[in-house]
Structure 1
């Protein structure tokens, strides 16, 4: 029996039967959606409950939407017979109870299982498609001839649009070595346009291990270009939402990407997997969209983790040593709290709580002392009296004088505008030169008029958390994490302090002045020291010829990383053209299938766009959400994106534009899925000219 059987050699009746099952499954999904739409929230007892129930029903309806061009199922598993399974397990050993328990776990499962993007059942609750995230579906990704996992045959389906056109069988129970899957290869190499697709049909065993890691486990993925690290992170989010639905519905899941264009690119993946309620944002969207221009070296100092200690001191330095006591007058009596007692209360609270709760506690503690005085005079005050005293003018005045009400902006403004205050808060954490760098050359008139930079946003968030605790999410997915500063990582870490994270990135693609060189350092600043670091080096997207060309830069930008490998030879995928025409290259690409990215130095975006005026195209910007087949892409926005055909203009200018220009060029060169064309008038970087 051949290891693979592929159309047109497949029996027509077998293909027709599979097509009939697809039609039945689509009809059942439509019936499930119609049933969900027929449900009413009016049964809820009150208006608030009705709104909550209606929201849940709307989410359910959205999750059951059918996408005609998206295969409803992509695989089939034929399980071994109960008799054969029992015989095998007897030979495997174990007690009768253990064998019986294993059999009972899967006793209700049918002998044939179709694996797809979501669960579909008929009107009698018979499963027609099993969700790829279900435990039984794991065999589709992990089973092999050496470990068939109770599967005798795995069938992969080929589609054209939404039509099932072929299948391919892989016998797993015969010990026959399985060769490369043609359907799998074609799916990986299928031309793409528009947003990122899910990879649920092509997940590899090492990727599946990451996707199915437990919720409690933080995973950090060092992924070379084309290894699917972003898709793996998104699929892990979908898997966790499936396996911990109620818990994560309460605590939440968030995806954090580098820019809005990237989020637009990945926006369709989770909805295609049936997950429609996941927040997706950027670091700027999460911390505050501040974009005042700033010297990168100043930003680097602000992004250093030492700033956390500086900010903490700066905040608590606002507390003043009490020099006077409290006098509270009620009727003819004056109730006094001595100055030393006030100092004791302040000392007991300072540093043991966050700033704003501590301030509120100070008012209550002072009020309690007043109540003690009242009781000593024979009065019987209750809690309402204590609250009234805490809100009284004498108490509020004393609290404001000793423990003033502050905002993060007020504290940071004083820190960056007052050299003496900065020096006092810095102690030995910042050198005099670093302090001088941080001080504004021309301070703003007040904290209200101050314009903050992106680096300031992380400092403000740190102060905000020192004042009041930041709520934690259940799970956080962070992409391109190698570019985040230590202070930004701390800010993200606060969002998963009671949860876990999936951290994605590539040390070789670090392009910021503060880019990390160690994933262990990233996990430490994220507050997830026990996280597991795993590496993906086998690429499925970038052709080998292109990847090998880009990898010439690795010894200069990340010498400790293993060179990436690609499964796709991609012969003829690379073209380097001295003095080549961008119009000609774009026209050639337009004659082929797939998306096209003309990646250029940021300074040349306008010029190249004008040159391409005769061809329909658009210019990508950070907020882009539109879809165009031909895009002019600034080099600084290329990270995380991919195009079937990439045209790179003037690599030397890309390198010269920033301190880590070689890393930026590495990113740019590895965006290609089918072909890479390099156009240059200037001399190529030495690493590529070799």
Structure 2
């Protein structure tokens, strides 16, 4: 895709900033900022020159094409071949301009990292900038390398300042020392933030630079600094006129650490499973892996050959906006339910489109349970055993019968449907034609009967769930303690009712129903199709895969070159297995998740090793992420307390220091609204670019708070009821189930009462998710008796020091 090349004149800061701009910095900080400003100015000048040159080149190219077009219109016939060849060459150049690896550097955001290297052999010093596009050194000692491609970019992600490095590049070894490693933020052509081992520095709204200290980033020291002290009852972590300068973090590519970079650049084939807590960068790694693969092999990993499956619609919209900034457009981003429904329509199976929302809870748990995968495998094995038994019975004593059975068994590794078709073709068109006629006829009868039934996936579904004895035996042998007798009876009756209704509809759907009215012989409306359970989609698709060896659309196997499954803990094993089996032969898959953020509690997920084994990946290693780039140490401490026995100490995350978590207790909602109204109005006045989430347990509570705060004239207030987030500054009022995977500057958990969050595992997960959506500050505002999940010392602190 061509990119429009225009010369942009950015607002370039002076290489020598005024003394007032750097007055608040110590000498070391002043030197760092001045040096980075100078580098940015030099780069922007080169980019502007490069863009201007490229624009003139393209203008010349367009003019040449116009001249050729006019010349062709009046040329002699003997000259046409030569002129057309020139036209094709120019058209090819035109199609390539601005695309691929030669795309120009963006002058508004040219790079995000800075390395200074000293080579061991020659002692030469060079400055390398890390960005999204490459710009070669023109003799001034500055170059930009693409983080996805240039070998030297590995040094940025793998080594710290003053580390000695040794790497193999193109069959040669390079050694040296990383003298300097900095992360920078350049936005709208201005240098806005610098992160170094010596500290972090940010540009305030007034144009003055500030020293943010060393606690502004996560570090392995973890919590040794002092928390940002916020006045009691004040929402927001900054109170000066410059706004929240330390909120301007680097772009996400700059935050990738050594471990994450290793996962992103894993070999093209294979399965990568990333486990990490809230804000640890799981989704970031997955998306950057998509960008990395697309860059390395554009033909194989083209956007239309990749799939990203996420938990909710809000994440779908968010990722659709993020991917283009990584240089990838056109990748399918969807939820599992939306994806499976669309694919089932393309498979053209004879099943109704509508699904019921009244499925009993026990039936939902049963159909999501890993035992269903085993039941499907057993059903397929039974069908294959039946056809082999039929062949043995029909061919017993017949000449050539053993030859037929030998050929059938040779095809055992093929999917059942393919095996049946291949065996029949051998019998009719290949070596089997030489068998005695009676032997061939007997074998053909068995194989044709098998071929006629093997592709009937709906019939298989009915056989799987319509047999009560099969269901009872499966539960008794595979999940003996997970369903009560009454639940088993409910499952059997419900499944029998659904299968009977579907088979009856399928057999008679074309027959008109007649009204039982002697005075009216007009036919009634067509038969109303039954509604299957939502969980049946995955079962039917898995049956299809097990019988045919994949999902086929118009005779072609439907598959992806790379699949990302985000928040995999909220999919059931059969859903994960269906997705994995749509991967191509290279099996390039990224799975990301966090068992602490589980929101679906009836899907059969226990832990990662069990899910991997159920999905057919028993030997895949789990890659843990240990640093959280979102929430602070104070927030993560509360989140771990909320999880209680569900928290695994091995999953502890390293987090930066931040503002204390605050609890405010009130007697009723009116008092809460009065307090919140004032705090939110003040925040929006001081920090107009802040994003705030007010999270309730249930949607009805969110509506009530929205209406009350609207009356209180809180500005930029939005009610989010269907994951329709705008991702703009302001205040979103919504329930906790809407915000999975999202991030806000500030989060206020509304009414964490014992009724809303009782001492149950499901409540622990939900409150944990609510708390870990914040990047800077967390409040718990409660009108009622607080939940036992809220730390008592936090409540006691509120009793000792009332808000105000």
Assess if the C-alpha contact under 8 Å between 2:368 and 2:572 holds in 1.
Answer: yes
Tell me the distance in 2 between the aligned counterparts of 1:363 and 1:83.
69
Q: Which residue of 1 aligns with 2:501?
A: 445
Q: CA shift at 1:534, angstroms?
A: 2.9
Assess if the C-alpha contact under 8 Å between 1:77 and 1:154 holds in 2.
Answer: yes
Assess if the C-alpha contact under 8 Å between 1:73 and 1:116 holds in 2.
Answer: yes
Aligned partner (choices 165, 175, 188) of residue 162 of structure 1 = 188
Q: Which residue of 2 aligns with 1:508?
A: 596
Partner secondary structure for residue 520 of structure 1: helix
Whether 2:190 is the aligned partner of 1:141: answer no
Partner secondary structure for residue 790 of structure 2: helix
Q: Deviations over 1:552-581 (max 9, x none)?
A: 12323234544433212324x534343422
Whether 2:340 is the aligned partner of 1:283: answer no
Q: Which residue of 2 aligns with 1:457?
A: 537
Assess if the C-alpha contact under 8 Å between 1:75 and 1:154 holds in 2.
Answer: no
Change (3 A) 1:154 1:675: same
Whether 2:32 is the aligned partner of 1:18: answer no
Assess if the C-alpha contact under 8 Å between 1:259 and 1:622 holds in 2.
Answer: no
Q: Which residue of 2 aligns with 1:597?
A: 693
> Which deviates more from structure 2 when the two are superposed, residues 517-526 or residues 315-324?
315-324
Partner secondary structure for residue 248 of structure 1: coil
Change (3 A) 1:426 1:567: closer
Whether 2:130 is the aligned partner of 1:115: answer yes
Partner secondary structure for residue 661 of structure 1: helix
The aligned runs of 1:670-685 (5 Å cut-off) are 670-685=772-787
Q: Which residue of 1 aligns with 2:579?
A: 492
> Which deviates more from structure 2 when the two are superposed, residues 646-655 or residues 672-681?
646-655
Q: Deviations over 1:183-242 (max 9, x none)?
A: 6976999979xxx99511222333333333333453332212222222122223323333
Q: CA shift at 1:316, angstroms?
A: 5.7
Q: Which residue of 2 aligns with 1:643?
A: 744
Q: Which residue of 1 aligns with 2:99?
A: 60
Tell me the distance in 2 between the aligned counterparts of 1:428 and 1:515.
16
Assess if the C-alpha contact under 8 Å between 2:272 and 2:623 holds in 1.
Answer: yes
Q: Which residue of 2 aligns with 1:238?
A: 291
Q: Which residue of 2 aligns with 1:273?
A: 326
Q: CA shift at 1:645, angstroms?
A: 1.4
> Which deviates more from structure 2 when the two are superposed, residues 411-420 or residues 302-311?
411-420
Aligned partner (choices 561, 569, 580) of residue 482 of structure 1 = 569
Q: Which residue of 1 aligns with 2:428?
A: 367
Tell me the distance in 2 between the aligned counterparts of 1:440 and 1:636.
32
Aligned partner (choices 638, 659, 662) of residue 570 of structure 1 = 659
The aligned runs of 1:52-201 (5 Å cut-off) are 60=99, 64=103, 71-80=109-118, 83-85=121-123, 111-120=126-135, 128-133=143-148, 134-149=150-165, 150-154=176-180, 156=182, 158-159=184-185, 161-165=187-191, 178-182=197-201, 198-201=251-254
Q: Which residue of 2 aligns with 1:587?
A: 681
Assess if the C-alpha contact under 8 Å between 1:119 and 1:127 holds in 2.
Answer: no
> Which deviates more from structure 2 when the two are superposed, residues 406-415 or residues 503-512?
406-415
Tell me the distance in 2 between the aligned counterparts of 1:452 and 1:5.
71
Change (3 A) 1:64 1:269: farther
Q: Which residue of 2 aligns with 1:619?
A: 719
Assess if the C-alpha contact under 8 Å between 2:752 and 2:786 holds in 1.
Answer: yes
Q: CA shift at 1:450, angstroms?
A: 4.1
Change (3 A) 1:522 1:34: farther
Assess if the C-alpha contact under 8 Å between 1:258 and 1:480 holds in 2.
Answer: yes
Assess if the C-alpha contact under 8 Å between 1:117 and 1:200 holds in 2.
Answer: no
Q: Which residue of 1 aligns with 2:78?
A: none
Change (3 A) 1:364 1:29: farther
Q: Which residue of 2 aligns with 1:606?
A: 703
Q: CA shift at 1:21, angstroms?
A: 0.9
Q: Which residue of 1 aligns with 2:350?
A: none
Q: CA shift at 1:661, angstroms?
A: 1.4
Q: Which residue of 2 aligns with 1:546?
A: 635
Q: With structure 1 as the length reference, what TM-score do the two structures score?
A: 0.75
Tell me the distance in 2 between the aligned counterparts of 1:284 and 1:34.
50
Q: Which residue of 2 aligns with 1:384?
A: none
Q: Deviations over 1:521-571 (max 9, x none)?
A: 233334333333232233232122222222212323234544433212324
Change (3 A) 1:402 1:143: closer
Tell me the distance in 1 between the aligned counterparts of 2:564 and 2:383.
36
Assess if the C-alpha contact under 8 Å between 1:120 and 1:130 holds in 2.
Answer: yes
Q: Which residue of 2 aligns with 1:211?
A: 264
Aligned partner (choices 303, 311, 314) of residue 368 of structure 2 = 303
Tell me the distance in 1 between the aligned counterparts of 2:381 and 2:472.
14
Q: Which residue of 2 aligns with 1:221?
A: 274
Q: Deviations over 1:489-529 (max 9, x none)?
A: 22233234632333222222223224644322233334333
Tell me the distance in 1 between the aligned counterparts of 2:416 and 2:374.
15
> Which deviates more from structure 2 when the two are superposed, residues 218-227 or residues 609-618?
609-618
Tell me the distance in 2 between the aligned counterparts of 1:484 and 1:257.
10
Assess if the C-alpha contact under 8 Å between 2:127 and 2:142 holds in 1.
Answer: no
Q: CA shift at 1:273, angstroms?
A: 1.9
Q: Which residue of 2 aligns with 1:357?
A: 418
Partner secondary structure for residue 538 of structure 1: coil
Q: Which residue of 2 aligns with 1:292?
A: 356
Tell me the distance in 2 between the aligned counterparts of 1:420 and 1:516.
25
Q: Which residue of 1 aligns with 2:788?
A: 686
Change (3 A) 1:240 1:324: closer
Tell me the distance in 2 between the aligned counterparts of 1:54 and 1:424.
67
Tell me the distance in 2 between the aligned counterparts of 1:185 and 1:523.
38
Q: With structure 2 as the length reference, what TM-score do the two structures score?
A: 0.66
Q: CA shift at 1:397, angstroms?
A: 11
Assess if the C-alpha contact under 8 Å between 1:6 and 1:167 holds in 2.
Answer: no
Tell me the distance in 1 between the aligned counterparts of 2:136 and 2:178.
24
Q: Radius of gyration: which is bigger?
A: 2
Tell me the distance in 1 between the aligned counterparts of 2:98 and 2:493.
49
Q: CA shift at 1:169, angstroms?
A: 8.8
Assess if the C-alpha contact under 8 Å between 2:465 and 2:471 holds in 1.
Answer: yes
Partner secondary structure for residue 453 of structure 2: coil
Assess if the C-alpha contact under 8 Å between 1:4 and 1:168 holds in 2.
Answer: no
Q: Deviations over 1:73-111 (max 9, x none)?
A: 12222332575449xxxxxxxxxxxxxxxxxxxxxxx93
Assess if the C-alpha contact under 8 Å between 2:163 and 2:177 holds in 1.
Answer: no
Q: Which residue of 2 aligns with 1:103?
A: none
